[in-house]
C-alpha cells in the first residue's frame, strides 16, 4: 500500500536496512561468519568463564554460504 512519508533525517546507518513504502524483496549486501571457542562470546557486566579445554574445529563443507553477488 502506498504511503506518504514526511521529513526524515537519517544520521547514521551501519549495516541496516531502511525501507519506505512498498517493496518486493530486500536482499543482504554483506555477510560474515565467525567461529568462537567456549566462553568467547559472553557479554555482561561481570562474567566468569572457566574452561578446562577449548577447541574450535570447523568443517565447512559449503563453498558458498550466502552469495551476495548480483544483489545490486
Per-residue pLDDT tens listing for the chain (72 residues): 667 777 878 777 776 777 777 777 776 677 777 777 777 778 888 888 887 877 777 777 777 777 767 655
C-alpha cell at 27: 536482499
Q: Any idea which residue has 559472553 for its cell?
A: 42
* Per-position b or e across 23-56, b if 16+ CB within 10 A of its CB: eeeeeeeeeeeeeeeeeeeeeeeeeeeeeeeeee
Cα dihedral 56→59→62→67 (10° resolution): 20
Amino acid at each position: 500500500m502506498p504511503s506518504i512519508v514526511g521529513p526524515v533525517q537519517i544520521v547514521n546507518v551501519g549495516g541496516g536496512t531502511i525501507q519506505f513504502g512498498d517493496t518486493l524483496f530486500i536482499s543482504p549486501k554483506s555477510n560474515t561468519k565467525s567461529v568462537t571457542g567456549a566462553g568467547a562470546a559472553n557479554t555482561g557486566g561481570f562474567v566468569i568463564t572457566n574452561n578446562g579445554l577449548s577447541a574450535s574445529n570447523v568443517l565447512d563443507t559449503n563453498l558458498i554460504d550466502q552469495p551476495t553477488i548480483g544483489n545490486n
